[in-house]
Structure 1
């Protein structure tokens, strides 16, 4: 008898377990909302929980186990009731927030899973809870994501269709989880009933397939393979890119190719393929960029080079390809982003960069900045968006679009410094800081930043042009042309080439070589007729050499692009104390006055 009593006293306390439907929910972008207005956000969230969430959970037999600051964890005895409650309060919250500005609107993400959990009065534990939390993290704002265990219980019982989103792998969860997204009217895009929604390949994901040797000479394989390998390495320097390693890519060498299948096999969005052919003393390289989801050709180009130093030519071809592809990939991703119903920070970044590449007029730059700001609204520490803002603000000040350049330069420097604190190896962030330093009488420091940028990314053509600008500000305008030729060698069709050509025109003006200045400015305008600075500098040079009709026409073209331009903007930007540069600036201002540009 005593023995039995002892055994009963030593028996461990039995944990309560039960099969439950677990709902995890939180507010999308809560940190951003609180940063914008703490009190209003807290008050609005409290009201939504009381008016929308709590009644729906109670009505469907659930209980809120605990609050988690910006969200909550709830338990239901039925998966059907859990989903019905989620649909009810998501619909109600949408009604209650319909009048709110988009950037201040509160929206919940919801994850639901059915699992065996450990139950305590004020908490629940176990993988069943963890999976619900992971599902919530991948749900769209205003949406509901459920596991297959929940889907099996609710299928055909809740009056709502779900899209099959495929298997997802979650941190600290051993096996992949099959997931489904609710197709809620107004919250999710309407898809055909039962349609499977495949997981999209990563952004900027690409494989460089081994280039084909069309020369018929096996001895040229080393050159062809060298182009492929170097291009793979250089593309990986594009910020945010995912480039499949060359060893994997080479498994496709010499085999029949189905580009869509390669995309599925390697989970990449783009394929770059090409060929190299030798004919006499020349090489021809053909390349094309293909979208693996549609099989469509996005871009193609051809390079013809004389056979000289093969390795030097290889470097030049690879640099040109890398620069061209960078711009093409950004443009392609920006087009995808325009179609996104719920754009991410990366979507906004690509749209901003596409505008940055397209045109440097005040409206375009301001619109580009707005996209970068929206990216930061979603992700305050997004390095790419910070660099985008740094570049835009420097351009607004240094290219004479703003009346208060000091404010823009300061904002640009702050953004680039923050970006570098988050990612010290970001080449473009170093270049952005270099731009500000060059334009604020710290040219030598700016040159050092550009050198650092090129050490991190040898293909950064704009950094070479910036070297030339620094030399011009330091009193050596004769060196500008050489640096721009270096930039053009790396990226002859660069979206920024017109700006570099315009800088050479300005340098020639400083040297008193007006005829050469006119030629470089004509090339700039031909490369991009929508760059107002080139028209204004042309107007000044043409007026100085007595071609007044042409000068007035150039002024008119410039004002059509930038009606607010005025000479005082030039005077507001004190880029250098160097006598040679200041003398050139005075000649520029004199020519603008002669052409009739407003003071």
Structure 2
């Protein structure tokens, strides 16, 4: 092995994986063209040696650090001119790092800390920019017509000691200047004893204050509402729109959302969920107070300003324990460069917190959601609408924005996943004013499938698919999809919540509680719909002390939501609070008078038997009837056998529902039926099972068979009707047509 002093230049393409996914062959061709037409001639001109290319980067050795920097400057200037006329998806931007130090030479290759430092410095350069080490700066600071911006001492991965780093400023007005360096303060004479005490104090402070590590002061840590996780924990506070135009609020919120989502994909980070940071966003107080309430070590804050095609973003990463800023950056870019800015911010956070990425995480972070910024804008608007439980107008607006995004970019996976999320809510909660349950189920399946076809690691689509598979009775597949969602986005509270629900309904109660606790730690101030979900999980797992407060909070926000009253009715009663249980049962029956145990038994037929009976027993004890509208038929009046068969063979029923709706229903000899009312016209099939009339109508009640009984109307609840037909969904009074 040989050792000698050398100047090392390392260059790397910004967002290479993302560009490759857009156009793999074209990106590679452009990289090779840059190597041949730009780097090659400049390296030769300044007597450098190309040691090797490294995928999307290159390593070069120079005898002179001045020559190395001259090469880097000319390369970046030439690239800037080239990129100015190129479409954004065809621009290759390089970060360049230059260091001066001792290297190890092995054949044609070089190694050592000096090479590693050059690589770490390269990551601190801006896209299209150059960063150099302190030793390199000391040699070139007065020899080139450029300026320098000091970044101070930086602690970087795998290098024991902090290193001085400078960015090159190519503005001619900055030539020969170094900005960002603290001037020496005027010295004051102090007594020797005082100086000694101050020295000891400063030494102690130096041992304590290490802003790049996870060492905490006891006083600061004890203020936290939750114990700190065993990994770097971050809250991305809502970016502030300083444009003076509320039209751009959704852009600031969208940037916040996207940073949270992307950082949530990194397994080495713990990231607080969107709702909790937005809930606290308007709360006055210091950063330390916000961090204490959320239980995190680091806080990211920023501002956004859009003026026409220009976008200005200021962002800062703060160590909330010490109160010190770890990293700050100002971006003044074209709006079209929004994704590049996001990539850079995420990369700097990961670098600042020394988080190691897996190859899969690198690939996921390199993806851009869409190449169409108008589609992205509609997507952001959909996301900002949110999904308010049982708010039909919000659903409609949200769906329209997602669909506009897809119309502009059919390959926008996140927009397809958004539609899947809305559709699965409509399906689960039977919001038939949007779609029938069966149509919503199909839309959810199709949209989730399309999202996963475009992005196999889309956490939202995986979570939706898991819920669909659970209700279809495919427990193993549901668990697999739910676990994949968590793996794809390890800080996604929604993914953990859905996993917990699936665990609860497949009999894994203890693990369901563990996963839901993780979800609530990630989202300590969850929205009402998530409070309800958490309450259902704890209730199913037989932990009503935690379930009831969550469901009560959801009830206060969602007073007209059926599941809130349904589950609180059972939870209160099972806990022994019959008065509150009865009150909730009365509210449930007032809002939804056709609520009944038979219906819930059908609805939850995918639950394990012991869980279903636990729920039905609680509702029964609170007074929820077996059949809709409190119907109780006498055994002697029930129609069965040949008499029942005769009622549904080539016969027509004419009558009214309990709610007053007129209907007519025809049955042929082959088991087919046609039903008509003022607002419904459907066909289906029938069969008789154990003296029950069973019907299936495509698009209704999840496409399931629904069975009920027919009784002679001896009680004369409707004096004009001969019979009563009761099912989990309806109570109908009818007579046979002549």
Instruction: Compute the TM-score of the two structures, normalised by the length of structure 1.
Output: 0.51
Is 1:51 the counterpart of 2:99? The answer is no
1:414 matched to which residue of 2? Answer: 462
- Pairwise mapping of residues 342-491 of structure 1 onto structure 2 (< 5 A)? 342-343=341-342, 344-345=345-346, 359-360=386-387, 361=394, 392=418, 395-400=421-426, 404-410=443-449, 411=452, 412-414=460-462, 417-421=483-487, 428-433=494-499, 444=506, 451-457=513-519, 461=526, 463-466=530-533, 486-487=549-550
Mapped to 1, the partners of 2:67 and 2:510 lie a distance apart of 63
2:226 matched to which residue of 1? Answer: 232
- Pairwise mapping of residues 472-511 of structure 1 onto structure 2 (< 5 A)? 486-487=549-550, 498=557, 502=561, 511=588
Task: Kindly state the Cα deviation for residue 178 of structure 1 after the two structures are TM-superposed.
Answer: 0.7
Task: Kindly state the Cα deviation for residue 355 of structure 1 after the two structures are TM-superposed.
Answer: 8.5
What are the Cα deviations for residues 369-388 of structure 1, in whole angstroms up to 9, with x where unaligned?
A: 999xxxxxxxxxxxxxx9x9
2:52 matched to which residue of 1? Answer: 66
Mapped to 2, the partners of 1:19 and 1:138 lie a distance apart of 23
Task: Kindly state the Cα deviation for residue 51 of structure 1 after the two structures are TM-superposed.
Answer: 2.0
User: In 2, are the aligned partners of 1:22 and 1:112 still within 8 Å (CA)?
Assistant: yes
Partner residue of 2:590 out of 490, 501, 513:
513
Partner residue of 2:234 out of 221, 241, 247:
241
Mapped to 2, the partners of 1:237 and 1:367 lie a distance apart of 39
1:110 matched to which residue of 2? Answer: 96
SS of 1:66's partner is strand
User: In 2, are the aligned partners of 1:425 and 1:456 still within 8 Å (CA)?
Assistant: no
Give the count of matched residue pairs.
401
User: In 2, are the aligned partners of 1:398 and 1:573 still within 8 Å (CA)?
Assistant: no
User: In 1, are the aligned partners of 2:52 and 2:60 still within 8 Å (CA)?
Assistant: yes
Is 1:339 the counterpart of 2:314? The answer is yes
User: In 1, are the aligned partners of 2:302 and 2:314 still within 8 Å (CA)?
Assistant: no
Partner residue of 1:41 out of 14, 27, 50:
27
User: In 2, are the aligned partners of 1:161 and 1:183 still within 8 Å (CA)?
Assistant: yes
- Judged with a 3 Å threshold, the aligned counterparts in structure 2 of structure 1 residues 424 and 20 are, in CA distance, closer, same or farther, namely closer
- Judged with a 3 Å threshold, the aligned counterparts in structure 2 of structure 1 residues 468 and 65 are, in CA distance, closer, same or farther, namely closer
Task: Kindly state the Cα deviation for residue 116 of structure 1 after the two structures are TM-superposed.
Answer: 2.8
User: In 1, are the aligned partners of 2:13 and 2:92 still within 8 Å (CA)?
Assistant: yes
Mapped to 1, the partners of 2:284 and 2:511 lie a distance apart of 34
Task: Kindly state the Cα deviation for residue 73 of structure 1 after the two structures are TM-superposed.
Answer: 1.0
What are the Cα deviations for residues 168-219 of structure 1, in whole angstroms up to 9, with x where unaligned?
A: 2234433221111123469xx99x951259x9978999989579xxxxxxxx
Larger relative helix fraction = 1
Mapped to 2, the partners of 1:205 and 1:584 lie a distance apart of 60
User: In 2, are the aligned partners of 1:118 and 1:125 still within 8 Å (CA)?
Assistant: yes
User: In 2, are the aligned partners of 1:405 and 1:573 still within 8 Å (CA)?
Assistant: no
SS of 1:178's partner is strand
Mapped to 2, the partners of 1:194 and 1:572 lie a distance apart of 69
Is 1:182 the counterpart of 2:168? The answer is yes
1:257 matched to which residue of 2? Answer: none
Task: Kindly state the Cα deviation for residue 465 of structure 1 after the two structures are TM-superposed.
Answer: 0.6
Which stretch shows the higher mean deviation, 403-412 or 331-340? 331-340
Q: Which has the larger radius of gyration?
A: 2
Mapped to 2, the partners of 1:465 and 1:404 lie a distance apart of 24
Task: Kindly state the Cα deviation for residue 148 of structure 1 after the two structures are TM-superposed.
Answer: 0.5
- Judged with a 3 Å threshold, the aligned counterparts in structure 2 of structure 1 residues 454 and 575 are, in CA distance, closer, same or farther, namely farther
The alignment yields a C-alpha RMSD, in angstroms, of 6.0
Task: Kindly state the Cα deviation for residue 463 of structure 1 after the two structures are TM-superposed.
Answer: 4.8
What are the Cα deviations for residues 391-433 of structure 1, in whole angstroms up to 9, with x where unaligned?
A: 8565332244888221344443536543433677975422144
SS of 2:143's partner is coil
User: In 2, are the aligned partners of 1:356 and 1:365 still within 8 Å (CA)?
Assistant: no
Is 1:290 the counterpart of 2:289? The answer is no
SS of 2:17's partner is helix
Larger relative strand fraction = 2
What are the Cα deviations for residues 108-145 of structure 1, in whole angstroms up to 9, with x where unaligned?
A: 12110111334466223333222212212333332211
User: In 2, are the aligned partners of 1:111 and 1:136 still within 8 Å (CA)?
Assistant: yes
- Judged with a 3 Å threshold, the aligned counterparts in structure 2 of structure 1 residues 445 and 332 are, in CA distance, closer, same or farther, namely farther
Mapped to 2, the partners of 1:116 and 1:46 lie a distance apart of 30
- Pairwise mapping of residues 518-557 of structure 1 onto structure 2 (< 5 A)? none
Mapped to 1, the partners of 2:400 and 2:213 lie a distance apart of 25
User: In 1, are the aligned partners of 2:95 and 2:128 still within 8 Å (CA)?
Assistant: yes
2:577 matched to which residue of 1? Answer: none
Mapped to 1, the partners of 2:399 and 2:299 lie a distance apart of 16
Mapped to 2, the partners of 1:511 and 1:579 lie a distance apart of 23
User: In 1, are the aligned partners of 2:9 and 2:98 still within 8 Å (CA)?
Assistant: yes
1:528 matched to which residue of 2? Answer: none
User: In 2, are the aligned partners of 1:433 and 1:446 still within 8 Å (CA)?
Assistant: no
Unmatched segments (≥5 aa) in structure 2: 183-208, 236-282, 306-311, 316-330, 332-340, 350-364, 369-376, 388-393, 406-412, 427-433, 435-439, 453-459, 464-481, 567-584, 595-657, 661-697, 708-725, 732-738
Task: Kindly state the Cα deviation for residue 19 of structure 1 after the two structures are TM-superposed.
Answer: 2.7
Mapped to 1, the partners of 2:701 and 2:88 lie a distance apart of 40
Mapped to 1, the partners of 2:419 and 2:510 lie a distance apart of 21
What are the Cα deviations for residues 508-559 of structure 1, in whole angstroms up to 9, with x where unaligned?
A: 9994423999xxxxxxxxxxxxxxxxxxxxxxxxxx999xxxxxxxxxxxxx
Task: Kindly state the Cα deviation for residue 146 of structure 1 after the two structures are TM-superposed.
Answer: 0.7
- Judged with a 3 Å threshold, the aligned counterparts in structure 2 of structure 1 residues 139 and 63 are, in CA distance, closer, same or farther, namely same
- Judged with a 3 Å threshold, the aligned counterparts in structure 2 of structure 1 residues 125 and 365 are, in CA distance, closer, same or farther, namely farther
- Judged with a 3 Å threshold, the aligned counterparts in structure 2 of structure 1 residues 503 and 101 are, in CA distance, closer, same or farther, namely farther
